[in-house]
Amino acid sequence: MTIAAKPPLTIRLCGPRGFCAGVDRAIQIVVLALKSYGAPVYVRHEIVHNRYVVEGLEAKGAVFVEELDEIPAEHRAQPVVFSAHGVPKSVPEDAASRNLFYLDATCPLVSKVHKQAMRHNRLGRHVVLIGHAGHPEVIGTMGQLPEGSVSLIETIEDADVYAPADPDNLGYVTQTTLSVDDTAGVIARLQERFPNLTAPAADSICYATTNRQEVVKQAAPGCDLFIIVGAPNSSNSKRLVEVALRAGAKKSILVQRAAELDWEEIGAISTLGLSAGASAPEVIVNEIIEAFRARFDARVELAETVQETENFLVNRELRSIELTAADMAFVNG
């Protein structure tokens, strides 16, 4: 097909998109640990919710395990990395009891939520956690406090039927990757029912989640299709699909790789929105753009709201190790 024969397409490329500072830091920690200590470096659970990233780190020598007892005795001197989502307090305690050397890659903004929950608890409040049951971040946050100290609320319907033992002594925190609008609705209902509900000292939903949702809201009106690059188990990526639809995109889909695109289903479109969840690498965004350029006379427009400059330092043990562009090329291109 010649260029002239290709139908025109405007791609509204959102910015910011893709990796946030917490995800970037977590991946850097694994890469630097491999450079410093050699393979294997063990990682408990997916370091971030992205299969491409996990496979790229496996190719470098990382070994992913679900639990610490999977690490063979002969490798117990090798580091084990805890994922960006955070872990219950029992996990580092377990690592210490096994004499394992661990590197905690928990996002600092998730750690902030842990501290907010612990502060509520220390001040005698029962903690209400707004989040998704079973998500690793929720498991990690609930695991900071004694059993029974935290109640999980997922929806406004949950808030309607919640019956705490002491309605006047509650404090809330939220998962960092929720829909800003949905969460505001849940909080409003809880505050309506429990006027003495105490907010955290700072907003729990992270800057990157908020920023990515805001630019998708602005870019979505008039889009025939909105593609979010991300994994099906990525909370913030799934929320972006919902945000795009609510903001006016005719259709929105979650895609992990260009190979998943169903061109017959996509059909004839003239305006495409494109963004990526906080754990999706830029190389896949570029892959998606090139796939559309092969079929359309595509023009890319940047839809940008803010520029992110946040940078989180890696663990002290790794700061003397040089991190090069080549080290991160598997995700950054």
Q: Report, as residue numbers or ranges, the catalytic residues.
A: 137
Is 236 labelled a binding residue? yes
CA distance 194 to 169: 9
Is 235 labelled a binding residue? yes
The 3-class SS string of the chain reads CCHHHCCEEEEEEEECCCCCHHHHHHHHHHHHHHHHHCCCEEEECCCCCCHHHHHHHHHHCEEEECCHHHCCHHHCCCCEEECCCCCCCHHHHHHHHCCCCEEECCCHHHHHHHHHHHHHHHCCCEEEEECCCCCHHHHHHHCCCCCCCEEEECCHHHHHHCCCCCCCCEEEEECCCCCHHHHHHHHHHHHHHCCCCECCCCCCCCHHHHHHHHHHHHHCCCCCEEEEECCCCCHHHHHHHHHHHHHCCCCEEEECCHHHCCHHHHCCCCEEEEEECCCCCHHHHHHHHHHHHCCCEEEEEEEECCCCCCCCCCCHHHCCCCCCCCCCHHHHC
Is 83 labelled a binding residue? no
Is 223 labelled a binding residue? no
Is 10 labelled a binding residue? no
Is 107 labelled a binding residue? yes
Is 135 labelled a binding residue? yes
Is 206 labelled a binding residue? yes
Is 85 labelled a binding residue? yes
CA distance 324 to 248: 41
Which residues belong to the annotated binding site for isopentenyl diphosphate?
49, 85, 135, 234-236, 279
Q: Which residues are annotated as a binding site for [4Fe-4S] cluster?
A: 20, 107, 206
Give the residue ranges of the annotated binding site for dimethylallyl diphosphate.
49, 85, 135, 234-236, 279
Binding residues: 20, 49, 85, 107, 135, 176, 206, 234-236, 279
